[in-house]
């Protein structure tokens, strides 16, 4: 466990509370984990830019005291790309949801991963569109219920982490809001990785996903996360049959690959005076 | 066609004794020279005919001056990246054409709402849809002014010459910085791909406008405080003036609000940033004699054909006037309206099906007769079509006069 030297509460814009999230929503746990990671890494608030899209998760940016930008639906990563390129000294973190990042913003996600630009993307995966009241997302599990999948979802979901790795992300991890102590470590590692980093966090939406899928209480949703999550270490001992329907948790992938903005900086030297 | 003084005065810090360098440039090349002179530091874009040269040349030029160039995965991403870079302090732009411009609309609205300066160059080709990718048109006029949803501020300028591509690029980037709005440079393909000699001024006499920066204690900084129509200072990532930016309606500090009072106040303010400065912003050119037989209204490359038509009739001792709006928004309606008492016949020519008709009608009033010459086939409007239209109209007038004389005799 990281020992934060600063109280993460100092990074909250308390004058902007109460937040809009429902009782039992997992978003606060993820936001708390991010603030603990920032405290542990001793980042200067002036050097942190948090960029979000649209959706419940993306409201996180408004509650924290950094350079925060709440953008348009699906477009947080392009905005973040512009910020990082023009101000490479900024630590740029994207806060997004499964719908925001994997549906409307899916193309930006894979291309940023391909470039390996130094952004940290935290995906609040609640398996559903929460803000618009419970429609199916690209992360909604097969046969789960949503207001646009009342007979059960007939579409298979993305494996967000596999997708990130395949597209070129150099740090990929998955956590849950149940495994709350692990989250700041995963997020801090993601920020430290000089490249495109993805942390998918499974989190509960009792109001919509929970209600529609008969796991309505926040406690049940946390228990669900515990039961479907398997640590990478434990998973090594399980058969593919035993792993069916499970989500691997922890650091799933790490590699070293040239980072986009650093490569661009070298371009200056190559073409200078040409 | 001469670049009007009204534009040159706004760009050149001094006009006397400076030595211009003559350069033979393509329209799109001239945009690059202009934006670099104005201090561009960031470009994001996606290839599309007929704007691609702008991206290609900036990909060569920007890295040499420590600027940034990125080819994004689509036009939506390009727009997002230039807004992000601008929030981080860059002077930023993108260039595109019709289909890409359509994709950019949502985030053009974001830039207007969140008050983020940026430049969008839309080199117009024939649409709708994929249309005629290599053919010229002026079909994006309405989209440029009213394309994104909601009431929003924007400035749109249409160059007629390669020289104006250069000067208006500088002007547009300056206006974007000064008013913290998205500004759209709207050449048609003919202007984008024409090659002409441009008199390029030395860089030190080019007026560059930079957005105001905040000063004073950060805890007192109200990034979106509204004070009349004044444009507030803009913080940038990395400084100590941390704040929130959003596309939702926001309060003085940039946080979302549902207040109807604030929503109305902010909408009015965003529009008034442009409209209250209308008389300073409008650019136009006119060549109207004392007693013109008819006045042509045309912009972009169409004005070039019109210019030829004016000289053609002049040789025959007939005086045709020419009024050329350069800013399409704000539209020089007062200036055009002043011509209504001086002539009874106006001919509006556009390479579209009449997108500017209503604005022109509103400016001229009902006391004059307005006819429109429209063409949307991808070809330039030939001078012969102007001449036919004008001669036909003159014949109509003569016939009517003769009929009148006959009835009163």
CA distance A145 to chain B (A): 30
Determine contact, residues B238/B89, Cβ cutoff 8 Å: yes
Per the DSSP assignment, residues forming a β-bridge with B256 are: B250
Report how far Cα A55 is from the mean position of its chain's Cα atoms.
13
Per the DSSP assignment, residues forming a β-bridge with B135 are: none
**CATH T-level assignment (fold) for domain B5-205:** Rossmann fold (3.40.50)
In this predicted structure, the answer to whether residue A2 has a pLDDT above a threshold of 60 is: no
pLDDT band at A3 (very low <50, low <70, confident <90, very high): low
Chain B residues closer than 8 Å to A49 by CB: 88, 237
Determine contact, residues A40/A2, Cβ cutoff 8 Å: yes
In this predicted structure, the answer to whether residue A4 has a pLDDT above a threshold of 70 is: no
pLDDT score at A273: 54
In this predicted structure, the answer to whether residue A75 has a pLDDT above a threshold of 80 is: yes
Residue whose pair of structure tokens reads 């559903």 in the numeric block: A128
Determine contact, residues A52/A96, Cβ cutoff 8 Å: yes
Determine contact, residues B242/A45, Cβ cutoff 8 Å: yes
pLDDT above 90 as % of chain A: 95
Per the DSSP assignment, residues forming a β-bridge with B125 are: B136
Q: Using alpha carbons only, how large is chain B's radius of gyration in Å? A: 22
Of A69, A86, A90, the CB nearest to B68: A86
CA distance A49 to chain B (A): 7
Q: Hey, what are B409's tokens?
A: 């005799």
Report the C-alpha gap between A61 and A53 in whole angstroms. Answer: 9
Per-residue exposure over A207-220, b if at least 16 CB sit within 10 Å of its own CB, e if not? bbbbebbebeebeb
pLDDT score at A177: 98
Report the C-alpha gap between A69 and A78 in whole angstroms. Answer: 12
Of B166, B146, B148, B164, give the one whose Cα is nearest residue B156. Answer: B146
pLDDT score at A139: 98
A49: phi > 0 → left, psi -120 to 50 → alpha, else beta; which? beta
Q: What are the backbone dihedrals phi and psi of residue A139, each rounded to the nearest 5 degrees, phi first? A: -105, -5
Determine contact, residues A112/A81, Cβ cutoff 8 Å: yes
Q: Hey, what are B371's tokens?
A: 């006819």
Query: Which residue from A minimizes the CA distance to B78?
Result: A78
pLDDT band at A1 (very low <50, low <70, confident <90, very high): low
In this predicted structure, the answer to whether residue A236 has a pLDDT above a threshold of 60 is: yes
Domains in chain A, please, with CATH? 25-271 (3.40.50.970)
Q: Are B244 and A68 an interchain contact pair (Cβ–Cβ within 8 Å)?
A: yes
Report how far Cα A62 is from the mean position of its chain's Cα atoms.
16
Of A260, A157, A243, give the one whose Cα is nearest residue A202. Answer: A157
Report the C-alpha gap between A208 and B255 in whole angstroms. Answer: 26
In this predicted structure, the answer to whether residue A274 has a pLDDT above a threshold of 80 is: no
Q: What are the backbone dihedrals phi and psi of residue B325, each rounded to the nearest 5 degrees, phi first? A: -70, 135
| B90 has a chain A CB within 8 A of its CB | yes
Q: How many residues does chain B have?
A: 409
Determine contact, residues A142/A136, Cβ cutoff 8 Å: no
Residues 6+ apart with CB under 8 A from B379: B135
Report the C-alpha gap between B83 and B116 in whole angstroms. Answer: 6
Query: Which residue from B minimizes the CA distance to A72?
Result: B247
CA distances from residue A98 to A30, A168, B11, B262, B396 in whole angstroms, order as listed? 14, 19, 48, 32, 66
Q: Are B244 and A108 an interchain contact pair (Cβ–Cβ within 8 Å)?
A: no
Q: Is A184 exposed, middle or buried (0-12, 13-18, 19+ CB in 10 A)?
A: buried
Q: Hey, what are A13's tokens?
A: 């814009």
DSSP string, A84-98: HHH-TTSEEEEEEEH
**Domain boundaries of chain B, sorted by first residue:** 5-205, 285-408
At the top level of CATH, which class does the domain B285-408 belong to? alpha beta
Q: Are A82 and B80 an interchain contact pair (Cβ–Cβ within 8 Å)?
A: yes
pLDDT score at B16: 86
CB atoms within 10 A of CB B134: 12
**Assessment of whether the complete model's pTM goes beyond 0.90:** yes
Query: Which residue from B minimizes the CA distance to A48?
Result: B238
Q: Assess whether the region B5-205 and the region B285-408 belong to the same CATH fold.
A: yes
Of B63, B78, B247, the CB nearest to A71: B247
Top residue of B235, B246, B248, B249 to mutate, by most chain A CBs within 10 Å, is: B246
Q: Is A239 helix (H, G, I), strand (E, B) or coil?
A: coil
Q: Are A68 and B243 an interchain contact pair (Cβ–Cβ within 8 Å)?
A: yes
Report the C-alpha gap between A113 and B148 in whole angstroms. Answer: 30
> What letter does residue A206 receive in the DSSP assignment?
I
Mean pLDDT of chain A: 96
Report the C-alpha gap between B316 and B175 in whole angstroms. Answer: 42
Q: Is A70 helix (H, G, I), strand (E, B) or coil?
A: strand
CA distances from residue B283 to A211, B148, B346 in whole angstroms, order as listed? 59, 23, 20
DSSP string, B173-232: HHHHHHHTSEEEE--BHHHHH-EEEEEEPPGGGB---------S-GGG--TT---TTPPP
pLDDT band at A5 (very low <50, low <70, confident <90, very high): confident
pLDDT band at A270 (very low <50, low <70, confident <90, very high): confident
Report the C-alpha gap between A61 and A226 in whole angstroms. Answer: 27
Residues 6+ apart with CB under 8 A from A102: A109, A123, A137, A138, A139, A158, A160, A163
pLDDT score at B289: 87
Report the C-alpha gap between B399 and A96 in whole angstroms. Answer: 70
Top residue of A13, A46, A79, A274 to mutate, by most chain B CBs within 10 Å, is: A79
Report how far Cα A242 is from the mean position of its chain's Cα atoms.
26
pLDDT above 70 as % of chain A: 98
Mean pLDDT by runs of 10 across the 409 residues of chain B is: 95 92 98 98 98 98 96 98 98 98 98 98 97 97 98 97 98 98 98 98 97 96 98 96 98 97 98 97 95 97 98 97 98 98 97 98 97 98 98 95 87
Q: Hey, what are A158's tokens?
A: 């993305």
Report how far Cα A238 is from the mean position of its chain's Cα atoms.
27
In this predicted structure, the answer to whether residue A100 has a pLDDT above a threshold of 80 is: yes
């Amino acid at each position: 466990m990281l020992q934060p030297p600063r109280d993460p509460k100092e990074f909250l814009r308390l004058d902007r509370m109460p937040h809009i999230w429902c009782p039992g929503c997992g978003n606060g746990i993820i936001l708390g984990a991010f603030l603990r990671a920032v405290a542990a890494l001793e980042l200067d608030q002036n050097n942190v830019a948090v960029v979000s899209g649209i959706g419940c998760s993306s409201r996180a940016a408004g509650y924290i005291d950094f350079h925060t930008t709440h953008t348009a639906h699906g477009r947080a990563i392009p905005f973040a790309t512009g910020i990082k390129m023009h101000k490479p000294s900024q630590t740029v973190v994207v806060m997004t949801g499964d719908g925001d990042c994997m549906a409307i913003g899916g193309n930006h996600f894979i291309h940023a991963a391909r470039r390996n630009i130094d952004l940290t993307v935290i995906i609040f995966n609640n398996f559903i569109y929460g803000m618009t009241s419970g429609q199916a997302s690209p992360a909604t599990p097969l046969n789960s219920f949503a207001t646009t999948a009342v007979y059960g979802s007939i579409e298979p979901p993305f494996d967000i982490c596999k997708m990130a790795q395949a597209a070129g992300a150099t740090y990929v991890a998955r956590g849950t809001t149940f495994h709350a102590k692990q989250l700041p470590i995963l997020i801090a590692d993601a920020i430290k990785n000089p490249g495109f980093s993805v942390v998918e966090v499974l989190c509960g939406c009792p109001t919509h996903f929970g209600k529609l899928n008969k796991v309505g209480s926040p406690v049940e949703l946390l228990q669900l996360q515990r039961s479907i999550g398997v640590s990478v270490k434990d998973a090594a001992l399980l058969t593919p049959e035993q792993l069916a329907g499970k989500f691997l948790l922890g650091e799933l992938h790490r590699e070293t690959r040239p980072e986009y903005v650093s490569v661009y900086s070298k371009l200056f030297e190559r073409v200078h005076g040409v | 066609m001469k670049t009007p003084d009204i534009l040159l005065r706004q760009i050149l810090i001094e006009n006397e004794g400076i030595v211009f360098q003559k350069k033979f440039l393509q329209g799109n090349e001239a945009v690059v020279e202009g934006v670099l002179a104005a201090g561009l530091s960031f470009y994001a874009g996606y290839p599309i005919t007929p704007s691609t040269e702008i991206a290609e040349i900036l990909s060569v030029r920007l890295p040499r001056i420590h600027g940034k160039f990125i080819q994004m995965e689509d036009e939506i991403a390009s727009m997002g990246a230039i807004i992000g870079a601008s929030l981080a302090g860059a002077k930023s732009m993108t260039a595109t054409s019709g289909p890409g411009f359509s994709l950019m609309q949502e985030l053009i609205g974001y830039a207007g709402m969140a008050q983020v300066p940026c430049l969008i160059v839309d080199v117009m080709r024939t649409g709708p849809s994929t249309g005629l990718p290599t053919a010229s048109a002026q079909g994006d006029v309405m989209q440029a002014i009213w394309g994104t949803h909601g009431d929003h501020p924007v400035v749109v300028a249409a160059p007629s010459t390669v020289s104006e591509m250069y000067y208006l690029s500088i002007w547009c980037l300056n206006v974007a910085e000064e008013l913290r709005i998205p500004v759209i440079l709207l050449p048609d393909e003919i202007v984008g791909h024409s090659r002409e000699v441009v008199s390029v001024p030395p860089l030190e006499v080019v007026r560059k406008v930079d957005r105001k920066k905040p000063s004073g204690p950060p805890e007192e900084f109200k990034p979106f405080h509204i004070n009349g129509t004044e444009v507030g200072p803009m913080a940038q990532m990395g400084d100590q003036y941390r704040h929130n930016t959003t596309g939702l309606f926001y309060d003085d500090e940039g946080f979302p609000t549902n207040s109807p009072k604030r929503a109305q106040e902010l909408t009015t303010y965003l529009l008034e940033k442009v409209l209250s400065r209308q008389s300073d912003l409008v650019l136009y050119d006119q060549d109207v004699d004392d007693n013109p037989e008819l006045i042509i209204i045309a912009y972009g490359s169409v004005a070039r054909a019109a210019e030829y038509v004016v000289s053609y009739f002049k040789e025959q001792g007939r005086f045709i006037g020419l009024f050329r709006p350069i800013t399409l928004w704000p539209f020089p309606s007062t200036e055009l309206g002043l011509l209504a008492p001086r002539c009874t016949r106006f001919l509006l020519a556009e390479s579209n099906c009449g997108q500017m008709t209503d604005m022109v009608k509103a400016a001229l009033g009902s006391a004059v007769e307005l006819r429109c010459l429209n063409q949307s086939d991808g070809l330039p409007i030939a001078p012969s079509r102007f001449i036919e239209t004008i001669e036909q109209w003159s014949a109509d007038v003569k016939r009517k006069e003769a009929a009148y004389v006959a009835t009163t005799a």
